[in-house]
């Protein structure tokens, strides 16, 4: 059993020493990392603070454990920062984690509705353009509307 533990540690260490980001795909929730650290570790935070957006994943190893990733604010992940509908929702997030960090670049996100994975996006009715940015349409500058659709089944 010891050789398996050593092999896993060496594999993880080798992966972390590379300069390429590691693919990420997990189920979890968007949280304020400051508030999570206050609740979990009694960190004294300022009552008035800017939120530090993170992604909380319930880890399987150790059982009952939790992992946190700091969300990078990018165009594809902007909705997770500004659209209140994502707060408190269980999400499936895809992206990449950068070497030697817990910094997560989000490239895809969906949420669960009634236990089923659902695609969420913004739609411009005028241009028929689907986007992941809650701001105005990049083409015509008109407001976009939030939409949901059942996600295709994974093969």
Q: Are 149 and 155 in contact (CB under 8 A)?
A: no
Predicted pLDDT at 60: 80
Q: Which token pair is 90?
A: 């269980």
Predicted pLDDT at 155: 57
Three-state DSSP class for residue 149: strand
Q: Which token pair is 140?
A: 């015509």
CB-CB neighbours of 123 under 10 Å: 16
pLDDT (tens digit per residue) in 51-68 = 999 999 998 877 788 999
Q: Are 80 and 86 in contact (CB under 8 A)?
A: yes
pLDDT (tens digit per residue) in 99-120 = 999 999 999 999 999 999 999 9
**DSSP string covering 107-121, please?**
EEEEEEETTEEEEEE
Predicted pLDDT at 17: 55
């Amino acid at each position: 059993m010891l050789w398996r533990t050593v092999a896993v540690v060496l594999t993880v260490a080798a992966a972390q020493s590379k300069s390429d980001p590691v693919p990420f795909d997990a189920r979890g929730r968007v949280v304020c990392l400051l508030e999570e650290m206050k609740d979990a570790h009694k960190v004294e935070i300022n009552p008035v603070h800017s939120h530090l957006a993170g992604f909380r994943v319930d880890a399987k190893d150790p059982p009952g454990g939790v992992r946190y990733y700091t969300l990078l604010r990018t165009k594809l992940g902007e909705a997770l920062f500004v659209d209140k509908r994502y707060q408190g929702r269980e999400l499936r997030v895809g992206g990449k984690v950068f070497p030697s960090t817990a910094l997560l670049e989000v490239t895809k996100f969906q949420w669960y509705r009634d236990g089923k994975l659902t695609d969420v996006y913004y739609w411009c009715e005028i241009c028929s353009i689907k986007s992941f940015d809650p701001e105005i349409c990049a083409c015509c500058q008109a407001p976009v509307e939030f939409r949901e659709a059942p996600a295709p089944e994974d093969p």
